């Protein structure tokens, strides 16, 4: 799973290199899809079936959600504008194991209030990782995550949560970012060696309520205020929690089945406004 996580981490580094006004989310999706092919990995999101029978499968390798879009945004050819934010969520399966991670990126300069939203959201993910070193149950972590968001005047999205991950992208348990009804009861779980989860706080500037677009996938805030999303795949080992989707060590790079240094070498810069 660590190699799948490194592949996903490197995909995000490629996004970080190219994100700018004028770039489209379709450009981003093309680069990540090509990166996964280069690594010999399978994109997890492409053709992922809709939960409702008869609805279209997800059509891309990435979920790209702009500004008030919370999750599951479909890549388009609409150029990013100065001041936009875009949440890029992606994952792959490599040698039978999955990795999944999300970051919210600014396109150029963004408003201070929006930067604060991004800062609080990533701080919430960082807090979860730190608490996993000392807490024994997920409900204890989720309570403090939600409290941090509330203390900063924002809201936690409650209709989408993190998840277990392994051979499949979505496995048990469900991993809420707040103290849900299930965590107050039988849905809580122990933080112990062998657990691997995707932790992904989604934080809104305004209301926690969301609505689905006519494409049957994209979810936006009901009040159209911005939303941010950060995610890591985290494994609990005998030596404590480990970020599987974090930067690799030189020793890990040496053992990868793809040429780490060559990945993304063919990326061409996209001129602003084109």
- So what's the pLDDT on residue 268? 53
Helices (H), the chain: 2-18, 25-39, 112-131, 138-151, 250-254
What are the tens digits of pLDDT across the range 99-133? 999 999 999 999 999 999 999 999 999 999 999 99
Output the pLDDT for position 270: 44
CB 113 within 8 A of CB 205: yes
How confident is the model at residue 52, as a pLDDT? 87
Selection from 236, 235, 253, 252 nearest residue 244 by Cα: 235
The answer to whether residues 92 and 48 touch, using CB atoms and an 8 Å cutoff, is no
The pLDDT assigned to 266 comes to 55
- Residues lower than pLDDT 70 in the chain: 266-274
Sign of the Cα torsion 129, 134, 137, 143 reads negative
Torsion of CA 108, 119, 103, 63, to 10 degrees: -80
Reading the block at residue 181, the tokens are 């009804």
Dump strand ranges (E) for the chain: 42-43, 62-66, 69-71, 85-94, 97-106, 155-156, 162-164, 171-175, 196-199, 202-204, 210-212, 219-221, 227-229, 232-237, 240-243
Among the listed residues 144, 21, 37, the one whose alpha carbon sits nearest the alpha carbon of residue 86? 21
What pLDDT sits at residue 164?
98
Compute the distance between CA of residue 137 and CA of residue 132 in angstroms, rounded to an integer. Answer: 8
Report the half-sphere exposure of 124 (CA within 13 A, side-chain side).
35
| Contact by Cβ (8 Å): 270, 18 | yes
Q: Environment class of residue 243 by beta-carbon count within 10 Å: exposed (0-12), middle (13-18) or buried (19+)?
A: middle
């Amino acid at each position: 799973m660590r190699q799948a996580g490194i592949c996903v981490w490197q995909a995000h580094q490629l996004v970080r290199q190219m994100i700018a006004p004028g770039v489209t989310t379709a450009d981003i999706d093309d680069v990540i899809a090509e990166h996964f092919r280069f690594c010999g990995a399978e994109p997890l999101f492409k053709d992922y079936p809709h939960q409702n029978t008869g609805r279209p499968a997800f059509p891309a390798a990435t979920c790209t959600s702009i500004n008030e879009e919370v999750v599951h945004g479909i890549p388009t050819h609409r150029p990013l504008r100065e001041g936009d934010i875009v949440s890029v969520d992606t994952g792959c399966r490599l040698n039978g194991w999955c990795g999944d991670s999300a970051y919210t990126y600014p396109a150029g300069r963004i408003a201070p209030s929006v930067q604060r939203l991004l800062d609080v959201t990533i701080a919430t993910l960082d807090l979860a990782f730190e608490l996993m070193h000392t807490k024994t149950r997920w409900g204890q972590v989720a309570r403090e995550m939600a409290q941090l968001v509330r203390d900063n005047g924002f809201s936690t999205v409650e209709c989408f949560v993190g998840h277990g991950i392994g051979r499949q992208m979505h496995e048990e348990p469900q991993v809420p970012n707040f103290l849900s009804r299930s965590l107050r009861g039988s849905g809580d779980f122990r933080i112990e060696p062998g657990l691997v989860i995707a932790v992904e706080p989604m934080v809104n500037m305004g209301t926690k309520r969301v609505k689905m677009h006519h494409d049957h996938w994209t979810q936006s805030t009901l009040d159209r205020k911005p939303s941010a999303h950060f995610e890591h795949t985290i494994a609990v080992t005998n030596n404590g929690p480990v970020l599987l989707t974090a930067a690799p060590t030189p020793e890990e790079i040496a053992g990868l089945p793809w040429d780490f240094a060559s990945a993304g070498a063919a990326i061409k810069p996209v001129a602003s406004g084109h």
